[in-house]
């Protein structure tokens, strides 16, 4: 099987990267990049050059190159890859520019603002033969891997549930969002459920609601029931306005199988009703540092990382399908949503070569599941 994206052989030097986005999350990534021996920060891109310069100074590197254009600065400083930490609305244009410049991209979630834009980015990655990986940082948690390992002894798993109850007072844009919990947070748990089950969504029925005391304009609570491939159900119940006895940011999990149950509170070691213990399993690294390590390994070796764009689109599809279900009061088919998004992507695509790649797909789900994408 051919490697589905170009690689950059390891010559013993760190991978030179640009970080695009100098906001709060951008600065978290900048600190992670600076702390990693695997990469070297070559520059910072932001439309606000003062913000980029301030971010560079905060690292103790006031002479670090900054710029407003990704491809231009990458060329100037010899960057080999891009970390896209812009706001979701900028994910599509920034990643498209980087891929077209021959640069692999590690992007913050979500893959894009819409599934349709995500499909465009998957096609662009194929066209240019470059890796685009989405950082679903909460997958990078050893305890999550241990919970999955423990669940392998349960026999067939039929139900996975996640409860998420927090009460953050963010202020700003989240307080005014239409779907603050589903759009800004639940994608983490939806993606983690896909990982635990090794399954993708088939359909969903979701209800959104807003308690009378909520300080959010949009619905801050929701319950969603997903049918997954293989027949298991994933049930998510959450609230962003529930003070007291709050859950972990990772949520609280129950994995129910034929022979027993695994519980994980999101912060401590998972436990099994079968008195089993997790062995010395894989250590994926921790959150964005784990994402970065996975990305560099993939770029160096051609291995398929968690979060490769073709697979990660399904996590955003779960969010969009849940929102459509809550808005319509009906069960939503994920295949129907994918087909509708595909038609939107074809209509919106401005690059004829990317459109040709999209047109070549005979099935959206098959294209997203493929591990052998042509260069």
Which tens digits make up the pLDDT trace of 109-167?
A: 999 999 999 999 999 999 999 999 999 999 999 999 999 999 999 999 999 999 999 99
Answer whether residue 28 shows pLDDT above 50: yes
Percentage of the chain surpassing pLDDT 90?
91
- The DSSP bridge pattern shows strands 15-20 and 39-45 to be parallel
DSSP helix, strand, coil percent of the chain (3-state; round to 5): 40, 20, 40
Q: What is the pLDDT of residue 371?
A: 52
Kindly state the average pLDDT of the residues 318-329: 97
Q: What is the pLDDT of residue 369?
A: 87
Query: What's the predicted TM-score (pTM) here?
Result: 0.94
How many CB atoms within 10 Å of residue 304? 17
Kindly state the average pLDDT of the residues 313-326: 97
Q: What is the pLDDT of residue 183?
A: 87
- The DSSP bridge pattern shows strands 157-165 and 233-239 to be parallel
Q: What are phi and psi of 64, to 5 degrees?
A: -60, 135
Q: What is the pLDDT of residue 171?
A: 87
Q: What is the pLDDT of residue 348?
A: 97
């Amino acid at each position: 099987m051919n490697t589905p994206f170009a690689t950059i052989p390891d010559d013993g030097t760190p991978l030179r990267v640009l970080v695009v986005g100098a906001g709060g999350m951008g600065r978290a990534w900048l600190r992670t990049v600076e702390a990693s021996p695997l990469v070297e920060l070559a520059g910072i891109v932001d439309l606000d050059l003062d913000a980029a310069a301030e971010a560079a100074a905060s690292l103790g590197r006031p002479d670090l190159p900054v710029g407003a254009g990704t491809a231009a600065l990458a060329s100037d400083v010899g960057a080999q890859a891009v970390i896209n930490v812009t706001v979701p609305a900028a994910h599509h244009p920034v990643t498209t520019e980087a891929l077209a410049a021959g640069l692999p991209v590690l992007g913050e979630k979500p893959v894009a603002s819409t599934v349709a834009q995500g499909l465009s980015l998957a096609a662009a990655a194929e066209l240019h033969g470059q890796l685009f990986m989405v950082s679903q940082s909460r997958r990078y948690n050893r305890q999550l891997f241990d919970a999955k390992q423990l669940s392998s002894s349960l026999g067939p798993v039929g139900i996975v549930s996640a409860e998420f109850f927090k009460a953050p007072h963010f202020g700003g844009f989240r307080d005014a969002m239409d779907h603050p919990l589903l759009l800004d947070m639940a994608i983490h748990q939806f993606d983690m459920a896909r990982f635990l089950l090794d399954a993708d969504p088939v359909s969903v029925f979701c209800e959104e609601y807003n308690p009378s005391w909520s300080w959010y304009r949009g619905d801050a609570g929701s319950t969603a029931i997903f049918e997954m491939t293989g027949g298991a159900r994933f049930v998510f119940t959450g609230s962003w306005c529930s003070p007291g006895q709050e859950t972990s940011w990772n949520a609280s999990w129950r994995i129910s199988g034929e022979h027993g149950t695994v519980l994980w509170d999101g912060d401590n070691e998972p436990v099994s009703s079968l008195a089993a213990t997790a062995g010395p399993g894989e250590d994926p690294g921790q959150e964005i540092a784990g994402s970065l390590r996975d990305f560099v390994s993939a770029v160096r070796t051609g291995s398929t990382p968690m979060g490769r764009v073709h697979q990660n689109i399904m996590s955003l599809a779960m969010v969009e399908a849940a929102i459509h279900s809550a808005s319509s009061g009906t069960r939503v088919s994920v295949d129907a949503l994918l087909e509708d998004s595909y038609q939107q992507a074809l209509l919106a695509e401005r690059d004829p070569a990317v459109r040709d790649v999209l047109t070549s797909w005979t099935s959206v789900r098959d294209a997203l599941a493929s591990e052998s994408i042509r260069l």
